[in-house]
């Protein structure tokens, strides 16, 4: 790796580019890479519309002014996702440097807790390895079908023994999944993890409580269902009636709850990300309070509906299939 910024790394870098013939600045993430090292195949990037393939991008002979963009960066600057040999420029002090887009890749998530960010890939033709002596990283792509655990178990002893050159030596081996987990753990503060644990605890118990309440309430209507069966109601009609009541109750409760919750949302507003991420991130529905509130409320409604109908259907299915005399025995 020739930079501290790469997919799922803790570090990050950014720059400002402008489309040729335009004057509107566009902020993008920077990722430097070393050509002819299978960079794009190793990380699983997919080529964009009209662009050469990932392995061709890795093996391309880049000039000093060549770059690769993600499709969302290309769209942000040129208002199209189709690669067509576009050019950009950037200001360096009083100088203006033009760069050529030689290919595009599909948008990707720089980290699992971020939405896709517009990114520029900068080829480093002659990187100075001395700049990274204190923290050099080497990414190894294993063959398809090879067990990660077995590879690491076999490779690490060989690595410690053979990967040495003068005062340089390989000191540690870590899977990429573990690297991502460490990065996410370091970025998630203890308060967030504690609140998430508490929220999950209450959510599970609340769902179980609602299921249990409707389960018990439905079972207590055994005699009522027996009367309905004795008057000719079919099990299907009984289940439909009970489930319909559950849908009506859930809809009313969700509507009232959402009105109350909306007052809290209006007073608190949406979560504000860091100013750096805010500048570089493209607009999305989660940034719009109305869309955000409606979509989240609808998801909550579906979850509540699933929980309530589960608590109703199972006992309703059982008691709607018994004989009327059995249902009315204790009446």
Question: What tokens does 139 get?
Answer: 């990414």
| pLDDT tens track for 216-253 | 888 888 788 888 888 888 888 888 999 999 999 999 99
Q: List the chain domain ranges.
A: 14-133, 144-185, 190-327
Distance CA 174, CA 325 (A): 68
CB count within 10 Å of CB 26 equals 19
Q: Please state the pTM of the whole predicted model.
A: 0.68
Q: CA distances (Å), 299 to each of 206, 210, 227, 304, in order?
A: 16, 17, 37, 9
In this predicted structure, the answer to whether residue 289 has a pLDDT above a threshold of 60 is: yes
Residues 59 and 35 sit within 8 Å (Cβ to Cβ):
yes
Q: Which position has the higher pLDDT, 244 or 2?
A: 244
169 forms beta bridges with 164
Q: Identify the pLDDT of residue 254.
A: 92
| pLDDT tens track for 140-193 | 888 888 898 899 999 999 998 998 888 888 888 988 888 888 777 766 666 777
Q: Identify the pLDDT of residue 74.
A: 92
Q: Identify the pLDDT of residue 268.
A: 77
Q: Could you tell me which residues come within 8 angstroms of residue 63 by beta carbon, excluding any fewer than 6 positions away?
A: 100
Residues 104 and 49 sit within 8 Å (Cβ to Cβ):
yes
Q: Identify the pLDDT of residue 151.
A: 92
């Amino acid at each position: 790796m020739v930079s501290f910024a790469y997919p799922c790394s803790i570090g990050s870098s950014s720059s400002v580019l402008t489309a040729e013939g335009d004057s509107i600045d566009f902020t993008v993430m920077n990722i430097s890479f070393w050509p002819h090292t299978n960079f794009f195949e190793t990380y699983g990037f997919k080529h964009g519309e009209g662009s050469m393939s990932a392995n061709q991008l890795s093996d391309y002979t880049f000039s000093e002014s060549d770059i690769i963009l993600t499709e969302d960066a290309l769209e942000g600057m040129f208002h199209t996702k189709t690669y067509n040999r576009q050019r950009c420029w950037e200001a360096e002090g009083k100088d203006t440097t033009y760069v050529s887009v030689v290919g595009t890749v599909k948008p990707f998530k720089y980290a699992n807790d971020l939405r896709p960010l517009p990114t520029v890939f900068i080829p480093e033709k002659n990187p100075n390895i001395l700049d990274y002596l204190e923290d050099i990283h080497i990414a190894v792509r294993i063959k398809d079908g090879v067990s990660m655990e077995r590879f690491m178990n076999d490779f690490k002893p060989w690595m410690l023994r053979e990967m040495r050159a003068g005062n340089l030596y390989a000191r540690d081996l870590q899977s990429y999944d573990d690297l991502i987990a460490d990065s996410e753990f370091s970025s998630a503060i203890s308060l967030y993890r504690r609140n998430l644990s508490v929220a999950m605890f209450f959510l599970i118990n609340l769902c179980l409580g609602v299921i249990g309440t409707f389960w018990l309430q439905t079972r207590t209507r055994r005699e009522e269902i027996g009367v309905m069966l004795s008057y000719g109601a079919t099990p299907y009609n009984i289940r439909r009636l009970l489930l319909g009541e559950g849908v009506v109750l859930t809809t009313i409760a969700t509507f009232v709850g959402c009105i109350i919750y909306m007052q809290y949302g209006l007073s608190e507003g949406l979560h504000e990300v860091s100013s750096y991420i805010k500048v570089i991130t493209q607009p999305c529905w989660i940034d719009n309070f109305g869309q955000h509130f409606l979509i989240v409320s609808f998801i909550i409604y579906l979850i509540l509906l699933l929980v309530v109908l589960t608590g109703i259907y199972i006992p309703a299915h059982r008691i709607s299939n018994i004989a009327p005399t059995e249902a009315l025995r204790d009446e």
